[in-house]
Amino acid sequence: MKRDEWILKEDGFNPMALGKCESIMCQGNGYLGLRAATEERYIGERRGLFIAGTFNQFHESEVCELPNAADCLEMGIDLNGETFSLLSGTFKDYQRELDFETGELHRHVEWTAPSGDVYVLHFYRVVSLQNIHTIAQRVEITPLSSHATVKLSTGINGQMTNSGSQHFSEGAKRFYDRRYMQLVQTTTQSNIDFVFTTDVKLLENGKAKKVDTHIAMDRRKIFSAFTTDISKGSTLTIEKITTIHTSRDKNMDGCETAEIQAFGLEHLKVQAALGYAGLAKQSAETWQKLVWHNIPVTVDSKNPHHQLALRFAQYHLQIMAPAHDNRMNIGAKALSGEGYKGHTFWDTEIFALPYYIFTQPNTARSLEEYRYLSLPGAREKAKGNGYTGAQFPWESAWLTDGEVTPLFGAADIVTGLPIPILTGLIEIHISCDVCLGVWQYYMATGDEDFMEKYGYELIFETATFWASRLEDGADGLLHINNVIGPDEYKDGVDDDAFTNYFARWNLHLAMEYYDKLKDTPLLARLQERLTLDYDKWAEKAEKIYVPAPREDGVIPQNRTFLGLKDIDLTKYKTQKQVGSIYNDFNHEQIGEMQVCKQADVLLLILLMEAAFTPEVKRANWNYYEPRTLHDSSLSLSTHCILAGDMGDDDEALALFERACNIDMGPNLQSSNDGVHAGSIGGIWQCAVLGFGGLRLVGGQIRLAPKLPESWDKLTFYAWLRGQKVKIEVSKTEIILENETKTATVEIEINGNQHVLTDMLNIKLK
């Protein structure tokens, strides 16, 4: 096995890359996300620990966000009176590695202190995938040139903030049995208790070592200081195990703080008894079980970076999804940073959900159950705006929070004022994106239970919203005015193609399912609670204006787009830093040009591919591709897949590589605020939906692979209608193996209809 294709490496310490590495090497398990901050502290670091679903509003002038919880990683290390820091003395053999196979982060360095004393240090860390409340650390220090007096200071530091906002009031600090440290903090508005409990153990050459321990408490902080001597060539090992529980945990519901504290302490003892090695082993086995033995994507490519990128994607997709709790969803920056405040966007349904639908359908179901549980807020939003049905928030957080999009953003270069953010008010396509997510889940899984409990209601309620949102036009048709489509460079447009096409589709889908459920007790039950006005849906669907392709095949992105001025975009198409157009123009000026931030009409064409002819697809590709700047990370994967559909294999591969580089590439600042969760889903989409050719077209499962020249083989797994199918694609054959074998699967492969029972082997040449 090629180990290089499993390991994300940082070969040299670069203080400018602290934020990036913290994000892309983030560890977690869907319950928590821990940025890969170093044990010793540096200026420019952004230490962060985020627990899914624990939103808090710092002040009424701000929207709620995931609070940055206490830091339990920090260790101050003094060696013979000199503080270990890579910014003093000299060092060699530095390496930091995140091993996707085991989920372990390892850093090592040989450090020469300013005095000339030499030490080798190893730092290991795991966030357990097996026990989602546990973080384990191990540090090894070996003095090479003389004996050393080691002073270590570590504990739980609740002085963390979100860029200055302190989300917690200080709670209890306890030191139990002269050994276990515990800190409680409570969010100021949502009133969620966080209980951190930690144990630190020292060993010399593998044997437990008795050391001088001093407890220190400060505001929002509990620490222990350890002092010990270690002889030249011996190794001092520090093992620190921390557990985290919150009153938001389902099993802590209704518990008093003291009960959570007691539970945390007992749980820590059990975890600490396993030691770092035991915990790391358990977690690595869980990685194998859930991901690498279960649903791996493997590629034989001439470029090893491709396999690494796909593992990067699967690793992050695993740690970003709160599969344990259907009251939570995925944030646009996952749990890896403060960016977008932990909020959930359409990124979930359009970019990440397909991964879970095909590989971990239970997680996909949980993510869509979250939307169902958010329906009260969506209904309230619709009502507040004078509509009926469910208008989903553009940004959402806790179930009852409703719309949480901030009202202002970055500075306007012309006015010098913060730019108003209108997405929460008028980027309304999110409601059909949710409907699309539900439908795709159903089409791939056939999960009737989900549909009966949640799915139909979501589809009906979003259709009802669209029916109430449509406006009468002078032309006798119905329009959707004043919206933002996927291309966020255009505010307040009328008849956005993406929104209108999907609104009509949403209405038609509701009608189809209403017909299907006619005379069933389920429909009767739904009718008791909801207003299901079939005739209104039908009338509105009939009269809605959807921009048809022009004679040359181009679909107008909105009513005015094709009349806007065209400028030379070369400079921005070749930019090193996204959003460079804002250096020259303000938002209003950009709104007057034919320039797209991200895939828009092209995304419509991809998601609704059965609705458009090859000629229309080609015309729109030729028109919009040169006008799209990919200033949103969500754009490249769509273009990659479409480039492949257009037969431009080199361009598809180049776009795949660019999508991989959003987080993994050389730009040192691009991931400071967290990884790009949707775009990571997009990496998987490029490989499996793009090159692997697995799609849901009009609800039917279709496979039409098209491997890039440099790929010899691609293997992946997909759950199709309750069957786990291994799909192996090479230049000469396609092999499908049904590993579940409890049912058959109908699938179209390269234009021919097949029924998969056990195995299919299709020769290509």
- Nearest approach in angstroms of CB 487 to ligand IFM is 9
Active-site position among 40, 395, 488, 657 = 488
- Nearest approach in angstroms of CB 679 to ligand IFM is 8
- Nearest approach in angstroms of CB 338 to ligand IFM is 14
Query: Which one, of 5, 66, 71, 7, lies nearest residue 36 by Cα?
Result: 71
Q: Is 354 helix (H, G, I), strand (E, B) or coil?
A: helix
- Nearest approach in angstroms of CB 281 to ligand IFM is 36
Query: Residue type at 744?
Result: T
Residue 331 binding ligand IFM, by CB under 6 A:
no
504, β-bridge pairs: none
Query: What is the C-alpha separation between 734 and 506, in angstroms, rounded?
Result: 35
Residue 312 binding ligand IFM, by CB under 6 A:
no
- Nearest approach in angstroms of CB 635 to ligand IFM is 9
Per CB under 6 A, which region of 36-44, 185-193, 345-353, 362-370 contacts ligand IFM?
Answer: 345-353
- The distance of Cα 222 from the centroid of its chain, to the nearest Å, equals 32
Q: 209 and 203 in contact (C-beta within 8 Å)?
A: yes
Closer residue to ligand IFM in complex, CB, 340/450: 340
Query: What is the C-alpha separation between 377 and 369, in angstroms, rounded?
Result: 14
Report the residue from 39, 347, 349, 663 that binds ligand IFM according to the rule CB under 6 A. Answer: 347
Which helix (H) or strand (E) is 724 found in, with range? strand 723-730
Per CB under 6 A, which region of 53-61, 343-351, 729-737, 745-753 contacts ligand IFM?
Answer: 343-351
Closer residue to ligand IFM in complex, CB, 224/638: 638
Cα end-to-end distance, the chain, whole Å? 29
- Nearest approach in angstroms of CB 634 to ligand IFM is 5
Q: 489 and 582 in contact (C-beta within 8 Å)?
A: no
Query: What is the C-alpha separation between 504 and 497, in angstroms, rounded?
Result: 11
Query: What is the C-alpha separation between 393 and 428, in angstroms, rounded?
Result: 8
- Nearest approach in angstroms of CB 697 to ligand IFM is 24
Query: Which one, of 692, 685, 697, 686, lies nearest residue 753 by Cα?
Result: 697
Report the residue from 13, 226, 346, 355 that binds ligand IFM according to the rule CB under 6 A. Answer: 346
61-120: contacts with ligand IFM (CB under 6 A): none
Which helix (H) or strand (E) is 134 found in, with range? strand 134-143
651-680: contacts with ligand IFM (CB under 6 A): 678
What is the x/- site pattern for ligand IFM, positions 457-496, by CB under 6 A? -------------------------------x--------
- Nearest approach in angstroms of CB 488 to ligand IFM is 5
Residue 332 binding ligand IFM, by CB under 6 A:
yes
Closer residue to ligand IFM in complex, CB, 276/345: 345
The single residue listed with the structure tokens 């850093």 is 107
Look up residue 483 and give its two tokens: 């919206």
Kindly list the distances between the CA atom of residue 93 and the CA atoms of 78, 84, 96, 335, 709, in Å, as whole numbers in the listed order: 20, 16, 10, 31, 37
Give the pairing type, strands 118-127 and 221-230.
Answer: unpaired
The string of DSSP letters for 561-587 reads GGGSBP---HHHHT-SSTTGGGGT--H
Query: Which one, of 104, 123, 109, lies nearest residue 11 by Cα?
Result: 109
Closer residue to ligand IFM in complex, CB, 603/652: 603
- Nearest approach in angstroms of CB 332 to ligand IFM is 4
Residue 747 sits at φ, ψ, to 5 deg, of -150, 140
- Nearest approach in angstroms of CB 430 to ligand IFM is 9
Alpha helices (H) in 601-666, listed in sequence order: 601-607, 614-624, 635-645, 649-664
Look up residue 115 and give its two tokens: 């005095």
- The distance of Cα 16 from the centroid of its chain, to the nearest Å, equals 24
Closer residue to ligand IFM in complex, CB, 630/724: 630
- Nearest approach in angstroms of CB 628 to ligand IFM is 13
Per CB under 6 A, which region of 66-74, 341-349, 606-614, 641-649 contacts ligand IFM?
Answer: 341-349
Residue 632 binding ligand IFM, by CB under 6 A:
yes
Closer residue to ligand IFM in complex, CB, 348/506: 348
- Nearest approach in angstroms of CB 630 to ligand IFM is 11
Q: 660 and 680 in contact (C-beta within 8 Å)?
A: no
Kindly list the distances between the CA atom of residue 145 and the CA atoms of 116, 420, 757, in Å, as whole numbers in the listed order: 9, 60, 67
571-590: contacts with ligand IFM (CB under 6 A): none
Per CB under 6 A, which region of 97-105, 130-138, 240-248, 338-346 contacts ligand IFM?
Answer: 338-346
- Nearest approach in angstroms of CB 728 to ligand IFM is 33
Residue 502 sits at φ, ψ, to 5 deg, of -75, -30
Burial level of 438, CB count in 10 A (0-12/13-18/19+)? buried
Closer residue to ligand IFM in complex, CB, 84/489: 489
Query: Which one, of 588, 670, 578, lies nearest residue 412 by Cα?
Result: 588
Query: CB neighbours of 54 closer than 8 A, spacing ≥ 6?
Result: 66, 67, 69, 187, 190, 192, 194, 246, 248
Report the residue from 223, 292, 340, 572 that binds ligand IFM according to the rule CB under 6 A. Answer: 340
239, β-bridge pairs: 138, 201
Closer residue to ligand IFM in complex, CB, 248/343: 343
Residue 10 binding ligand IFM, by CB under 6 A:
no
Report the residue from 634, 640, 727, 756 that binds ligand IFM according to the rule CB under 6 A. Answer: 634
Look up residue 388 and give its two tokens: 């009926």
Closer residue to ligand IFM in complex, CB, 199/673: 673
Closer residue to ligand IFM in complex, CB, 155/678: 678
- The distance of Cα 560 from the centroid of its chain, to the nearest Å, equals 34
Question: How many helices (DSSP H) and strands (DSSP E) are in the chain?
Answer: 21, 31
Hey, how many other C-beta atoms are within 10 angstroms of the C-beta on 149? Answer: 13
Q: How big is the chain, counted in residues?
A: 765
Per CB under 6 A, which region of 18-26, 342-350, 521-529, 713-721 contacts ligand IFM?
Answer: 342-350
Binding-site size, ligand IFM (CB under 6 A): 9
Active site residue 101: no
Report the residue from 196, 345, 370, 465 that binds ligand IFM according to the rule CB under 6 A. Answer: 345
165-184: contacts with ligand IFM (CB under 6 A): none
Burial level of 82, CB count in 10 A (0-12/13-18/19+)? middle
Q: Is 658 left (phi over 0), alpha (psi -120 to 50) or beta?
A: alpha
Q: Is 498 helix (H, G, I), strand (E, B) or coil?
A: helix
Closer residue to ligand IFM in complex, CB, 125/676: 676
Active site positions, annotated: 488
Site for ligand IFM, rule CB under 6 A: 332, 340, 345-347, 488, 632, 634, 678
